[in-house]
Structure 1
C-alpha cells in the first residue's frame, strides 16, 4: 500500500475500532434483547451480510497471486505451507519466542475471558444477567485505553519488548489478584487492568512479528502463530475448566495467572537478542538521532553518500 509509518499504530487503531464496535454492540444488543432475544441475532446477521458485500466489492488483496488448487495438489500444498512455517517461523529464534508467548498468554485468556461472568455472579451472589453486559462494555473501554498507550509509545524511541514485558507482568499480577479477590469490586478493576494490558501489548506484538517476517511468507507465519495459540487455548480450556469444576473458578484464575509467568523469561530472552525489529522509532526521532527502524530479513538500507569536492 506504500504505507511507511509504524505498524503498531495501525494495529492499535484497528483494535480501537473493534473495541468501539464491541461497546456499541453490547449496549444496543442489550436494549434490543430486552424487547426480544431473537432481534440481536437477526440484526447481527444483517450487519454481517452488509459487511460481506462491502468487503467483496471494495477490498482487494495486494500482492496476492492466485493459483489453481485441486484435491490432488492439496497434500503437496499443505507440505509447502508446513515447510514454510518451520523455515520462516519456528526456526527463526525471535519468531519462535513470540509464538511461545502467544501460546502461553492466549492459552489462559481463552478460558479466562469466558470464566469471568459466572465468577462475578458468584462474587455478587446474584444471577442477574445485566452484569455481563455492563462488564463487557467496560472491557471494550479498557481495551481502547490500552490501545492509546500504543499510540503514545509509537511516537517515541524504545524497544517493543520493554512494553511487552511490562504488560505481561501487569497482566499476570492482575489475573492472580482476581483469583485471590473476595469481592466483586476488587475483581472488576483487576479484570479491566488485565484487558487494558492486553490492549497495549497486542498491537505491539503483532507489529513486531510482521517486522520479522518476509512479506511473501507473512500470511503463512501469522496463521501458524494463530494455530499454535489456539493449541494453547485447547489445553487451557480443558485443564483450567476441569480445575474450576473440581475446585473453584478462583483457583482456575490463580493457577492460570501463575502459568502466564512463563511468558516473562521468554520475553526477556527475546529482548536480549537485540534484534533490529525490536527497535521502534517515532516522530520524536525526527528531531533527534535515533536507531533505524527494524527491517525484515533480506532488506537493506543504502548508506553510501556521494561527496562532491569543489576545486578551484
Structure 2
C-alpha cells in the first residue's frame, strides 16, 4: 500500500515557500551556468595544455581530492557561520581559482601547478555542496511547506540541466570561435555576478548559525554530531558508502566522453561537438528532474528508485563501451544521463529526511566528501585504462565498478528507515534514530 500523499505539492506551497523556491532556482541557474561553460571542453583544455590522458585525469583527481579535504571544514562553516556566508565564499574562491587555471594554460605550466590549482577549484565547489541544499530544506520547512522534497529538488535539477545545456553549448561554440581559454573567463564573470545576486537575495531562514568564541571547539562539536547523524546512522551510512562507486564513475565518464566522442566523430578539433555531448547530458537532466517525482509516485520505496537507476546506469555504460558509431553513442549517453538524473532528487530527499537541521550542511558535505573520494581513485585508474585500452574499454570498466554500489543500497533498504517510505515527509527537525 502506498503511503498517504497530499493532494498536490503545488497546493502545499504557500507564498513564502514559493519565494524560497525562486531564490533557490535562481542560485542554481547562475551557478550551473557559470560552471558549465567549461564542462564541454575541460578535458580538451587540459590535453591542449600538453597533459597526457593520465595527467589530465590526475588533475581532475586532484580537484576531487580538494573536495575530499575541504568538504567537512566548509560544511562546518555553513553550519557554524551560515549558508549564505558559505555561498559567497564559494563564488569568490571558484572565480579566483578558475582564473588561475586559465593562466596555467596560457603559460603551459608544469603538472604540479595544475595539481595545486585543481585542489583550489575543489575548495571552491565545497562551499556550495552542502550549503545550498541545506539552506533550501530548512527555509522550506520554516515557511510551512509540507510537500515532498523530490518536487522542489526535481525542479532544481531541471533548472540546472537547462543552465548546463546553455552553458555547455555556449562554451563549446565560443571555444571553437575563439580558443579554449575564453569559456574559463566567461565562468569568472558569471561567478562574480552571482556573488552580487546572492548577497542581495540569499538570507538564512529557518536556521540560526551557532557561532562560537571557540571555533575549534565548535568545529569538533558539529563534526561529532554530524558523524553521529551520518556514518553512525546505518541507512545514511550505506547510502554514503555507495557514493564512491557511482559518483566516481559518473565524473570520469562525463569528462571522458569529450575526447571519446570526438574520436568517434573523427575530428579532434570539433569543440562544438564536445559541447553538444555536455548539452545532451544537460537536456537529459531536465527530463530526469521532471521524471523524478513522477517515478517516485509509482513505487513504494525510495531505495527502489536508487537501486534500479544504478543498475540501469551501469549496464548502459557497459554497452556504451562496445559502441563505435557516433550517433548511437550519443543516444546511449542521453539515456544514461536521464537514468542518473531521475535518481538524483530521490537520493537527495532520502538523505535530507534522515538528517537533523543543525548538522544538515555538514552531513551533506560529508556525503559529498565520500563520493568525491571515489573520484580520486577512479578517475586516474580509468584514465590509465583509457591510455592502455582506449576510451570505450575504460567506460565499460566504469560500468562494472558502478555495480559495486548496489549491495550498499540494498543494505540501506534493509534498515527500514521511515524516509524510505516518505513522499511528503514530516518535519525533519530531528534526525531519524537508527532502527533498534
Which TM-score band (shorter chain)? 0.7 to 0.9
State the shift of 1:205 in Å.
0.2
* CA distances 1:99-126 after superposition (whole Å, capped 9, x unpaired): 0121210011121111111111222332
**1:240 paired residue number:** 382
Mapped to 2, the partners of 1:75 and 1:216 lie a distance apart of 17
Mapped to 1, the partners of 2:393 and 2:211 lie a distance apart of 51
**2:66 paired residue number:** none
Mapped to 1, the partners of 2:253 and 2:382 lie a distance apart of 9
Match of 1:46 among 174, 189, 202: 189
Contact 2:296/2:302 (CA < 8 Å) preserved in 1? no
Which structure 1 segments of 5+ residues have no match?
283-292, 301-312
- 1:39/1:107 Cα in 2 relative to 1: closer, same or farther (>3 Å)? closer
Aligned residue pairs total: 288
- 1:98/1:182 Cα in 2 relative to 1: closer, same or farther (>3 Å)? same
**2:151 paired residue number:** 9
* CA distances 1:74-132 after superposition (whole Å, capped 9, x unpaired): 54344324322321100100100110121210011121111111111222332122211
**1:145 paired residue number:** 287
* CA distances 1:250-302 after superposition (whole Å, capped 9, x unpaired): 221121110111112222222233221001347xxxxxxxxxx46648489xx
The aligned runs of 1:204-215 (5 Å cut-off) are: 204-215=346-357
- 1:299/1:21 Cα in 2 relative to 1: closer, same or farther (>3 Å)? closer
Q: Confirm whether residue 85 of structure 1 aligns to residue 85 of structure 2.
A: no
State the shift of 1:188 in Å.
1.8
Which structure 2 segments of 5+ residues have no match?
1-142
* CA distances 1:231-253 after superposition (whole Å, capped 9, x unpaired): 11101112111222222222211
Q: Confirm whether residue 228 of structure 1 aligns to residue 362 of structure 2.
A: no
Taking structure 2 as the reference length, the TM-score comes to 0.61
Taking structure 1 as the reference length, the TM-score comes to 0.84
**1:279 paired residue number:** 421
3-state DSSP of counterpart to 2:205: coil
* CA distances 1:210-237 after superposition (whole Å, capped 9, x unpaired): 0001111111110110111111110111
- 1:101/1:258 Cα in 2 relative to 1: closer, same or farther (>3 Å)? same
- 1:32/1:112 Cα in 2 relative to 1: closer, same or farther (>3 Å)? closer
Root-mean-square deviation (Å): 2.4
- 1:268/1:13 Cα in 2 relative to 1: closer, same or farther (>3 Å)? same
Structure of higher CA gyration radius: 1
Single out whichever of 224-233 and 237-246 deviates more from structure 2: 237-246
- 1:115/1:29 Cα in 2 relative to 1: closer, same or farther (>3 Å)? closer
Q: Confirm whether residue 125 of structure 1 aligns to residue 241 of structure 2.
A: no
- 1:170/1:28 Cα in 2 relative to 1: closer, same or farther (>3 Å)? same
Match of 2:235 among 94, 109, 130: 94
State the shift of 1:40 in Å.
4.2
Match of 2:251 among 82, 107, 110: 110
Mapped to 2, the partners of 1:41 and 1:250 lie a distance apart of 28
- 1:12/1:261 Cα in 2 relative to 1: closer, same or farther (>3 Å)? same
